[in-house]
C-alpha cells in the first residue's frame, strides 16, 4: 500500500470519527435545548404565580418589585441560555457538512513531535472538552495556514509570537461529511481547491469560502493596526469577500466587547446589499448593519425635498445634454480642495455672516432673524458656533415659556377651545377631579387647564423647531458659501434648484457636512468599524462627512480605481490614494483576479492603463468573443442570448451602458418570449437566471456569462467609457461576449485583439 493511500485511509477514518462525535454532540444539545425550552415556556406561563404582589405599604411595594425583578432575571437567563444553545446547534449542523478544510502539522520550538492542527469554520473540542479536534479559522494558530508554506512559521499570542516549523500543509474537499479530495500544498491555497470552487456556477448570493483565503487577503482580514485600511483590489480579487471575513474575524477576536451592531457597511445599492447578506450567517455571525450613502442622506432630507440618486446622476452625465455649469459645479464640489474652503468659510462666520430665518407663531413672525443674529454675535466669539447656537436655543425656549403664558387669555384660545373634541374635555375633567385638593373642582380650573392645553398644542411645532436647532437658514448658507468662494455662477445654479426643493447628488455631502459643522451633531459612538465598498466612487467630501459622523470608528475602504464609473472620478481624485499625512493609514493591494477565467482576465486587463500588473489565476475557459452585429443588432443579440439560456449556462447578464439601454434590450427579449429580469436601482434580489442591467448596477457582482449589449465605438468612445467597459467585462466568471453594432472603440487596440475571437 502506497503512503498516499495510507494517508487517505487515515484521513477518511479521522473524518468519520469527527463527524460521529458531531452527531453525538448535536443529539446531546437537542436534549438539553428541549428541556431548557420547556423551562422557558413554564416560567412564562407561571410568571405571576410566583410573584408576591402587595402594594399596601412601602415595604411591600419594594418586596413586590424585588420579586418581579428576580423572576424576570431568571427568565432572561434561561432565554439567553436557550439562544446560545440554538447558536451552538447551528454551528454543529454546519460542521457536520464539512468539519474542516485544512491541516498543518506544526512543531513548536523546544518540542519533539509535530501537532496536527485541523482548521474549519468553527472550533470543535473532543468528547471531554479538553483538546481541540478542529480550530476556528480565525484563531491565531490558524493564521499559519494562510500565511506560511511548509518550513519556519510563527503565530501571535498574548505572551508573544510562538515560533516553530510547519512540516505538512494539507487541504481537503469535504461535502456532506464525506472526504472527496485531499492534497498537500505550498504557500498559497492549492490550485486544485480553487479550481473546484471557482469553476462552480454563480449564485444569487456571495458565498463565504474561508478555505480559499489567500495570503494577501488574510492580511486584510487580520489587520488591526490601521485606523484607516485601504484595500485596492483589481476586479475579482476577493476584496469584498475578504472585508466580510474581516468582520467575522473581528467579531471572533473581540467577542466580549464587539458585536455586529457595532459595525456598518456602506454598500453601493440594495442589490449588492442583498448579494453579500449570506456571507456572515454562513460563518455563524449575525449580519452587520448595511445601508447606502443615498439612503442615509435621504433620511436627513427636510420634509418635501427630493435628492437625486447617484445613479440618476450617472445617467445624466452619460447623456448628451449635460449643462456646462453642472459639469463645472461637479468638479468644484468633489475636489479635494473643497474641505479646506469649507473650513475657511466656517472660520469666517465666527464674527459675522451666519444667516438665521424668521420664526413664526400662528402665521406671524415671533422672533426675527435679525434678533437671533444680534443675540448670537453678542456672545463670546471664542466659543464654537454650535455652542453659541445652543445658547441661542436656550434663550428662545425661555422666551417661548413667557409667550405661552401670555397667549392663554387671548380670544383665539376661546375659538380653539370650541373646536376641541369630547374626549379632550373628558380627560381634563377627570384630571380636575383627581387633583381637586390642589386645583379645586370648579369650572374655572377646568377652563385654565383647557387654555394651557390649547396653547401648548399650538406652540409645540415651534418648540420642536427650536429644539431641533432649525434656526439657521441652511439653504442660504450653502449658497452663500459658493459666493464667498467666488463661484457665483454655481451659487445661482444651486439657488435655482433649491427653489424646487431639489438637491443634486454632488451637493448632499457638502450641504450636510456644513450643517453638521454649524449646528453640531452627536457622533455615532456605538459604531466601531465602518466598511465602504466601491470607495473609488466616493468624493473626498463624502469620506470627510463620514469621518466626522463616525469619529471614533476604524474605517476600511475597498475599491478599484479602474471601476470608477461616476463622472467626478475622472479627475483622478480618489479616497483610495494614500494620504502621506494620515495617521495609522495602511494600503493593501490585491493584484490577482480569481473571478474570471484566465482568457477573460487576459482580455480585460488590456483595456485599462497599467493592466499588465493584474495577475490571472490559471483557470481555463473560452476566449471572449466579439460579434459584429450591424443592421441585425437586435436579431443577433436576441439569438445569442436565446442560445446561452437554452444550454443552461447559469446566470446570463446582458449589461448595457445606461438604464435606457437596459429597458430597450429587455423589451427586445420580451418580444422574443424570453423571461428576463430588468434590474433597476431599487432592485434588491435576482429572480431570474437571465438579467438585463446597466453596468453601474453590476458592480461588485458576478455572473456566469456576460453579454455586453453594444461594445461599439458609438457607445464607448470617451476615455471614461474605458472604465465602464472594463467594469462590464470583468463581471463574467466563465464566458464573455461583446456585441458591436458598428466599429470597435479605439480602446480595443491591436494589443487587445489577440486576446479575443471574432464571432
What pLDDT is recorded for position 5? 83
On the 0-12 / 13-18 / 19+ scale of CB atoms within 10 A, 713 is middle
Q: Tell me what pLDDT residue 338 has.
A: 95
Q: Which of 204, 203, 201 is nearest to 274 (CA)?
A: 204
Specify the pTM: 0.88
Mean pLDDT, all residues of the chain: 88
pLDDT at 517 over 50: yes
Cα separation, 444 vs 449, in Å, equals: 9
Contacts of 345 (CB under 8 A, 6+ apart): 481, 484, 485
Spatial separation of the C-alpha atoms in residues 684 and 670, rounded to whole Å: 21
Mean pLDDT of 427-438: 60
Average pLDDT, integer, range 701-712: 95
Residues 293-335 pLDDT 10s? 999 999 999 889 999 999 999 999 998 788 999 999 999 999 9
End-to-end CA separation in angstroms for the chain: 52
User: Please, what is the angle between helix 540-549 and helix 505-519, to 10°?
Assistant: 40
Q: What are phi and psi of 706, to 5 degrees?
A: -120, 135
Confidence check: pLDDT of 234 > 80: yes
Q: Is residue 238 part of an annotated ligand binding site? A: yes
pLDDT band at 505 (very low <50, low <70, confident <90, very high): very high
Rounded Cα distance between 650 and 201, Å, is: 6
pLDDT tens-digit series, residues 197-211: 666 777 777 777 787
pLDDT band at residue 570 using 50, 70 and 90 as cut-offs: low
Average pLDDT estimate for 726-747: 94
Closest CA to 748 of 603, 627, 583: 603
Q: Indicate if the alpha-carbon torsion angle 581, 583, 584, 585 is positive or negative.
A: negative
Q: Is the model's pLDDT at 617 over the cut of 90?
A: no
Supply the Cα-derived Rg of the chain in whole angstroms.
Answer: 32
* Mean pLDDT along residues 646-658: 93
Using CB atoms within 10 A of its CB, is residue 692 exposed (0-12), middle (13-18) or buried (19+)? Answer: buried
pLDDT digits (tens, 9 = 90+) for 254-277: 988 999 999 999 999 999 988 888
> Looking at the chain, how many residues does it have?
759
At residue 54, the pLDDT reads: 54
**535 labelled binding-site residue:** no
Question: Does residue 235 have a known ligand-binding role?
Answer: yes
CA angle 213, 218, 219 (to 5 degrees): 155
pLDDT band at 486 (very low <50, low <70, confident <90, very high): very high
Lowest average pLDDT, out of 174-178, 426-430, 660-664, 672-676, goes to: 426-430
Q: What cell was used for 477?
A: 448658507
Q: Is 699 annotated as a binding residue?
A: no
pLDDT for the residue 575: 80
Consult the annotation and say whether 239 binds a ligand: yes
Across the range 694-723, mean pLDDT stands at 93
Domains of the chain, earliest start first: 3-210 (no CATH), 211-303+522-593 (3.40.50.300), 359-468 (no CATH), 598-758 (3.40.50.300)
Q: What is the pLDDT of residue 29?
A: 81
- In this prediction, residues 95-109 reach a mean pLDDT of 94
Give me the phi and psi of 173, to 5 degrees please: -115, 110
CA distances from 219 to 71, 119, 304, 586, 614 (A): 48, 18, 46, 11, 19
Contact 722, 607 (CB under 8 A): yes
How far from 164 is each of 3, 154, 527, CA to CA, in Å? 25, 6, 38
Split at pLDDT 50, 70, 90, the class of 751 is confident
**C-alpha to C-alpha distance for 142 and 103, rounded to whole angstroms:** 9
What distance lies between CA 676 and its chain's CA centroid?
28
* 164 annotated among ligand-binding-site residues: no
Amino acid at each position: 500500500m502506497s503512503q498516499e493511500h495510507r494517508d487517505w485511509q487515515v484521513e477518511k477514518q479521522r473524518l468519520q470519527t469527527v463527524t460521529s462525535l458531531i452527531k453525538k454532540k448535536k443529539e446531546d444539545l437537542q436534549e438539553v435545548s428541549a428541556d431548557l425550552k420547556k423551562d422557558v415556556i413554564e416560567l412564562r406561563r407561571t410568571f405571576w404565580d410566583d410573584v408576591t404582589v402587595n402594594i399596601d405599604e412601602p415595604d411591600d411595594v419594594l418586596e413586590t418589585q424585588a420579586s418581579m425583578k428576580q423572576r424576570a432575571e431568571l427568565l432572561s437567563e434561561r432565554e439567553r441560555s436557550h439562544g446560545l444553545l440554538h447558536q451552538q446547534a447551528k454551528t454543529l449542523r454546519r460542521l457536520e457538512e464539512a468539519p474542516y478544510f485544512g491541516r498543518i502539522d506544526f512543531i513548536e520550538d523546544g518540542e519533539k513531535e509535530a501537532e496536527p492542527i485541523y482548521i474549519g469554520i468553527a472550533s470543535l473540542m473532543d468528547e471531554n472538552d479538553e483538546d481541540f479536534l478542529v480550530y476556528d479559522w480565525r484563531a491565531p494558530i490558524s493564521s499559519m495556514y494562510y500565511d506560511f508554506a511548509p518550513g519556519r512559521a510563527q503565530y501571535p499570542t498574548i505572551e508573544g509570537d510562538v515560533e516553530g516549523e510547519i512540516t505538512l500543509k494539507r487541504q481537503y474537499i469535504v461535502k456532506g461529511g464525506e472526504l472527496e479530495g485531499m492534497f498537500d500544498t505550498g504557500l498559497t491555497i492549492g490550485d486544485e481547491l480553487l479550481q473546484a470552487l471557482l469553476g462552480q456556477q454563480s449564485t444569487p448570493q456571495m458565498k463565504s469560502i474561508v478555505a480559499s483565503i489567500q495570503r494577501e487577503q488574510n492580511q486584510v482580514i487580520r489587520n488591526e493596526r490601521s485606523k484607516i485600511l485601504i484595500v485596492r483590489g483589481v476586479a475579482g480579487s476577493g476584496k469584498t469577500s475578504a472585508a466580510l471575513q474581516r468582520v467575522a474575524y473581528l467579531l471572533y477576536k473581540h467577542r466580549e466587547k464587539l458585536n455586529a451592531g457595532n459595525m456598518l457597511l456602506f454598500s453601493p445599492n440594495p442589490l449588492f446589499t442583498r448579494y453579500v447578506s449570506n456571507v456572515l450567517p454562513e460563518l455563524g455571525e449575525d449580519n452587520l448593519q448595511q445601508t447606502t450613502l443615498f439612503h442615509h442622506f435621504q433620511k436627513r432630507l427636510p420634509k418635501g425635498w427630493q435628492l437625486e440618486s447617484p445613479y440618476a446622476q450617472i445617467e445624466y452625465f452619460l447623456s448628451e445634454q449635460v449643462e456646462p455649469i453642472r459639469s463645472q459645479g461637479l468638479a468644484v464640489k468633489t475636489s479635494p480642495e473643497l474641505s479646506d474652503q469649507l473650513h475657511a468659510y466656517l472660520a469666517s462666520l465666527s464674527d459675522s455672516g451666519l444667516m438665521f430665518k424668521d420664526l413664526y407663531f400662528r402665521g406671524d413672525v415671533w422672533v426675527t432673524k435679525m434678533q437671533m443674529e444680534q443675540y448670537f454675535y453678542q456672545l463670546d466669539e471664542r466659543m464654537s458656533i454650535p455652542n453659541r447656537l445652543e445658547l441661542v436655543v436656550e434663550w428662545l425656549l425661555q422666551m417661548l415659556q413667557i409667550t405661552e403664558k401670555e397667549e392663554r387669555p387671548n380670544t383665539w384660545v376661546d375659538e380653539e377651545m370650541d373646536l376641541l373634541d369630547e374626549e379632550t374635555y373628558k380627560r381634563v375633567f377627570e384630571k380636575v377631579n383627581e387633583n381637586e385638593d390642589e386645583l379645586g373642582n370648579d369650572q374655572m380650573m377646568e377652563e385654565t387647564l383647557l387654555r394651557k392645553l390649547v396653547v401648548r398644542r399650538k406652540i409645540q411645532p415651534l418648540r420642536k423647531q427650536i429644539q431641533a436647532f432649525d434656526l439657521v437658514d441652511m439653504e442660504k448658507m450653502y449658497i452663500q458659501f459658493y459666493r464667498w468662494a467666488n463661484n457665483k455662477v454655481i451659487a445661482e445654479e444651486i439657488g435655482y434648484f433649491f427653489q424646487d426643493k431639489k438637491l443634486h447628488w454632488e451637493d448632499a455631502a457638502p450641504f450636510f457636512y456644513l450643517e453638521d459643522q454649524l449646528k453640531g451633531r452627536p457622533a455615532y459612538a456605538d459604531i466601531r468599524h465602518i466598511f465602504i465598498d466601491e470607495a473609488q466612487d466616493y468624493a473626498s467630501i463624502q469620506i470627510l462627512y463620514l469621518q466626522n459622523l463616525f469619529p471614533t470608528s476604524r474605517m476600511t475602504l475597498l475599491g478599484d480605481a479602474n471601476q470608477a464609473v461616476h463622472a467626478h472620478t475622472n479627475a483622478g481624485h480618489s479616497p483610495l490614494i494614500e494620504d502621506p499625512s494620515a495617521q495609522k493609514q495602511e494600503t493593501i493591494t490585491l493584484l490577482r483576479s480569481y473571478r474570471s477565467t484566465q482568457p477573460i482576465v487576459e482580455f480585460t486587463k488590456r483595456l485599462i492603463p497599467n493592466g499588465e500588473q493584474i495577475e490571472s489565476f490559471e483557470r481555463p475557459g473560452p476566449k471572449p468573443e466579439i460579434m459584429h452585429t450591424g443592421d441585425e443588432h437586435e436579431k443577433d443579440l436576441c439569438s445569442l442570448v436565446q442560445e446561452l439560456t437554452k444550454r443552461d449556462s447559469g446566470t446570463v447578464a446582458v449589461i448595457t451602458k445606461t438604464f435606457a439601454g437596459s429597458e430597450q434590450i429587455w423589451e427586445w427579449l420580451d418580444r422574443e418570449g424570453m423571461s428576463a429580469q430588468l434590474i433597476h436601482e431599487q432592485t434588491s434580489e435576482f429572480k431570474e437566471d437571465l438579467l438585463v442591467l446597466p453596468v453601474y448596477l453590476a458592480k461588485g457582482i458576478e455572473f456566469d456569462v456576460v453579454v455586453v449589449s453594444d461594445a461599439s465605438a458609438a457607445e464607448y468612445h470617451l476615455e471614461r467609457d474605458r472604465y465602464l467597459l472594463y467594469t462590464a467585462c470583468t463581471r463574467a466568471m466563465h464566458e464573455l461576449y461583446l456585441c458591436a453594432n458598428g466599429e470597435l472603440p479605439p480602446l480595443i487596440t491591436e494589443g487587445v485583439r489577440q486576446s479575443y475571437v471574432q464571432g
